[in-house]
Structure 1
Amino acid sequence: MKKMLLPVITALIVLTSCAASKKLTAEQQYMNKQYKELKNVLNEAEVSILNDSLKVIFPDHILFATASDQLKDDIKPTFERFAGVLNKYDKTKIMITGHTDNTGVAAYNRDLSERRAVSAKQLLNNNKVDNERMFTWGLADRDPIGDNTTEAGKAKNRRVEFVILYNLK
């Protein structure tokens, strides 16, 4: 009996420690719920979860005309749904980054990318997302996700990204 008891106790300890290590923190559970809702309401965007943050990428061709920082009217209902989820999960901060391809002068691309990020922030703010939660940054062509030698790659690089972080106070 004693011979069988030791392996059973050892197995229970191992299983218990494995189960405990798989438990998510309250912050991770909160972010996972938000991730699932964003995936559900944002068909136009790529939504991913990275460690303890969420990333939402809107391609430029959906949001802006070429070389423009004015959001297209047909994206506004999508931003309304996006804002609804952001407002529901108000324990987060949102970093909004604008991007361009490498065509043109670097100073113009920096300015354009910042104006795109600000334009996206303003539309979210118009949908009641608190300005204090959002920060903008223009990255111009510094973080390409596509090949800048092709038109398809350049189109991928002209985008706005949102990184959503749990707000630790």
Structure 2
Amino acid sequence: MKKMLLTSRCWLYAVAVLALLTSCASSKKSTSSQQYMNKQYKELKNVLNEAEVSIIKDSLKVIFPNNVLFASSSDQLRDEIKPTFSHFADVLNKYDKTKILITGHTDNTGTAAYNRELSERRAESTKRLLGQYQVNNDRMFTWGQSDRDPIATNDTEAGKAKNRRVEFVILYDVKQ
């Protein structure tokens, strides 16, 4: 129960941070911003066919498949994912009226302090790679989630691999 409350609280903080960073006011969004995001969604689905791309209210969420991003205890993206990130960056650059929140995650191996720091390094490493592909750093924000939001069990190696990830939340920037 305590872990569920902590996870819920983390998501509330994430929503608050996203709202502040992007100055999004969904009630003021026009149909053109929704069309813009829908168009970007379709292009991401087409380009990133191995990734999970979804629309959540006024934002897009991108999660790459398990076991392709990071080895255990590593913040270095695997070489085989880099060409995919190049295509991802191309779409992000084409749709430059958005902000990108990159959240790093870990499995539950190690101490809480170590996992927090590792998740932050994973998010920063991903931001640097996208920056190498010309995605503007001012559009990207990072946040380390540690092991607070697992998407699979940490009782198996396969589950731990799924939890070693970064997630992307893409929001329309109303200041554009």
Quote the residue 1:160 is aligned against.
166
Quote the residue 1:113 is aligned against.
119
* Root-mean-square deviation (Å): 1.3
Retained in 2: the 8 A contact 1:97–1:160? yes
Q: Secondary structure at the match of 2:73?
A: coil
Give the one of 30, 48, 69 matched to 1:42. 48
Whichever residue aligns with residue 75 of structure 1, its letter is I
Q: Taking CA–CA contacts closer than 8 Å with sequence separation of 6 or more, which of the two structures ends up with the larger relative contact order?
A: 2
- State the 1:149 CA deviation: 2.4
Q: What CA distance in whole angstroms lies between the structure 2 residues aligned with 1:150 and 1:56?
A: 24
Retained in 1: the 8 A contact 2:70–2:164? no
Q: Secondary structure at the match of 2:35?
A: helix
Q: What CA distance in whole angstroms lies between the structure 2 residues aligned with 1:34 and 1:134?
A: 17
Greater mean deviation of Cα atoms: 59-68 or 127-136? 59-68
Deviating 4+ runs (over 4 angstroms): none
- State the 1:88 CA deviation: 0.4
Is 1:62 aligned to 2:68, yes or no? yes
Q: What CA distance in whole angstroms lies between the structure 2 residues aligned with 1:79 and 1:100?
A: 20
CA deviations over 1:59-88 (Å, ceiling 9, x no partner): 452112221111111111101100000000
TM-score, normalised via structure 1 length: 0.82
Q: Secondary structure at the match of 1:81?
A: helix
Retained in 2: the 8 A contact 1:59–1:160? no
CA deviations over 1:88-125 (Å, ceiling 9, x no partner): 00000000000011121111101111111111100100
Count residues with an aligned counterpart: 146
Q: What CA distance in whole angstroms lies between the structure 1 residues aligned with 2:34 and 2:153?
A: 34
Quote the residue 1:53 is aligned against.
59
Retained in 1: the 8 A contact 2:69–2:164? no
TM-score, normalised via structure 2 length: 0.79
Whichever residue aligns with residue 164 of structure 2, its letter is R
Q: What CA distance in whole angstroms lies between the structure 2 residues aligned with 1:60 and 1:111?
A: 21
Q: Secondary structure at the match of 1:122?
A: helix
